């Protein structure tokens, strides 16, 4: 009942009203907050793809860090020292460009424990280890952040980089603590190494599928019985060619969500080519899926 009450209330609000008010994710339980619901466009009004998982009023997991995500993190009232990990579905600019801003800003917080950073490794494109070295290594783009890779970091903590295989079909599940467990699988997104992530916490599950074409047809099984399935809504139903080779269409999203029996479907990474076509996308999705359907906006928060 709590979820449906919040859903009804937010659906009555305009996105601008939601963004202008202080977000509230509840004092207890597991919540998903949308830090960035947009894509790489400069004129979509939203931050780039990024999500927070809250557990009992603490932001415990950051998923992707698209442009503007660090600003939304501040607006959400999240504490950097509470994060158990940062995970990336892919390392393209619109999913990872704000990570240096998070690191630089974290120097002014009180974090002392190491911060695991997990993301795709393998394939023809650069993986997480090379990405980090080129970004914040001693000879990287931001050498002033290189000490985050050492035990004598000015920020007070060390960044622990862990690559996750982004090739093949094997499920990876080598990270967890007493409050949450993570799993990942490779997904097809053109020539870009990409992962889908599943988070288990307090008996609830959320799957962040990110950008994928479903060529490997793995998401439905991976997201089985998930309380929330978060998918990129980057292409309209009529997409063809390269666009369809990189992203699922609304009709495909509906079939996947129904096969997974996901309780809630959240559409993030909304592009201008899909905005204004929500009714068409809804129709294509609901032809197969009958669960709760949410078109995400920045700073919205949903209880599981």
Q: What is the pLDDT along the chain (304 residues), one digit of tens a residue?
A: 455 444 444 444 444 444 446 577 999 999 999 999 999 999 999 999 999 999 999 999 999 999 999 999 999 999 999 999 999 999 999 999 999 999 999 999 889 999 999 999 986 678 999 999 999 999 999 999 999 999 888 889 999 999 999 999 899 999 999 999 999 999 998 888 999 999 999 999 999 999 999 887 899 999 999 999 999 999 988 877 665 668 899 999 999 999 999 999 999 999 999 999 999 999 999 999 999 999 999 999 999 9
Q: How far is CA 141 from the centre of its chain?
A: 24
* DSSP assignment letter at 272: T
Q: Are strands 159-165 and 172-176 parallel, antiparallel or unpaired?
A: unpaired
**Maximal C-alpha separation, the chain:** 56
Q: How far is CA 76 from CA 30, 176, 179, 227, in A?
A: 15, 24, 21, 22
List of residues 6+ apart from 153 with CB closer than 8 A: 147, 159
Residue 152: the pLDDT is: 81
Residue 214: the pLDDT is: 83
Place of tokens 């442009």: 67
C-beta separation of 207 from 216 below 8 A: no
- Kindly report the backbone phi and psi dihedral angles of residue 17, in degrees, each rounded to the nearest multiple of 5, phi listed first: -70, -40
Residue 129: the pLDDT is: 94
* DSSP assignment letter at 156: S
Q: Which residues pair with 116 in a beta bridge?
A: 160
Query: Closest Cα partner for 258 from 284, 297, 295?
Result: 284
Radius of gyration of the chain from its Cα atoms, rounded to whole angstroms: 18
Place of tokens 């959240």: 266
Q: What is the C-alpha to C-alpha distance for residues 37 and 51, in angstroms, rounded to an integer?
A: 9
User: 302 by DSSP, 3-state: which?
Assistant: strand
* DSSP assignment letter at 13: S
Residue 216: the pLDDT is: 76
Q: What is the C-alpha to C-alpha distance for residues 116 and 97, in angstroms, rounded to an integer?
A: 18
Domains within the chain, CATH numbers bracketed: 2-6+30-303 (3.60.15.10)
Question: What does the DSSP assignment read for 219-264?
Answer: HHHHTTT-SEEEEE--S-TT--THHHHHS--HHHHHHHHHHHT-SE
Residue 124: the pLDDT is: 67
């Amino acid at each position: 009942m709590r979820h449906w009450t919040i859903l009804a209330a937010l659906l009555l609000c305009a996105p601008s009203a939601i963004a202008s008010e202080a977000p509230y994710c509840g004092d207890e339980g597991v919540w998903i907050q949308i830090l960035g619901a947009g894509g790489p466009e400069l004129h979509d009004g939203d931050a780039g793809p990024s999500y927070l998982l809250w557990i009992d009023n603490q932001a415990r997991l950051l998923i992707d860090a698209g442009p503007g995500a660090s600003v939304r993190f501040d607006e959400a009232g999240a504490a950097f020292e509470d994060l158990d990990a940062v995970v990336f579905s892919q390392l393209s600019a619109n999913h990872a460009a704000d990570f240096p801003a998070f690191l630089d800003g974290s120097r002014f917080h009180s974090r002392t424990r190491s911060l695991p950073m997990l993301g795709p490794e393998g394939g023809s494109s650069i993986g997480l280890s090379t990405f980090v070295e080129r970004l914040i290594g001693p000879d990287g783009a931001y050498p002033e952040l290189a000490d985050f890779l050492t035990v004598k970091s000015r920020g007070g903590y060390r960044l622990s980089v862990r690559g996750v295989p982004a090739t093949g079909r094997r499920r990876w599940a080598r990270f967890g603590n007493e409050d949450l467990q993570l799993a990942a699988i490779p997904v097809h997104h053109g020539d870009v190494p990409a992962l889908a992530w599943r988070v288990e916490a307090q008996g609830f599950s959320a799957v962040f599928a990110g950008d994928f074409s479903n060529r490997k047809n793995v998401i439905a099984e991976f997201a089985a019985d998930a309380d929330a399935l978060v998918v990129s809504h980057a292409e309209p139903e009529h997409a063809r060619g390269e666009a369809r080779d990189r992203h699922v269409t609304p009709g495909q999203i509906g079939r996947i969500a129904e096969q997974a029996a996901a309780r809630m479907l959240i559409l993030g990474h909304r592009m201008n080519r899909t905005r204004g076509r929500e009714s068409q996308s809804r129709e294509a999705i609901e032809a197969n899926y009958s669960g709760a359907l949410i078109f995400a906006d920045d700073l919205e928060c949903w209880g599981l």
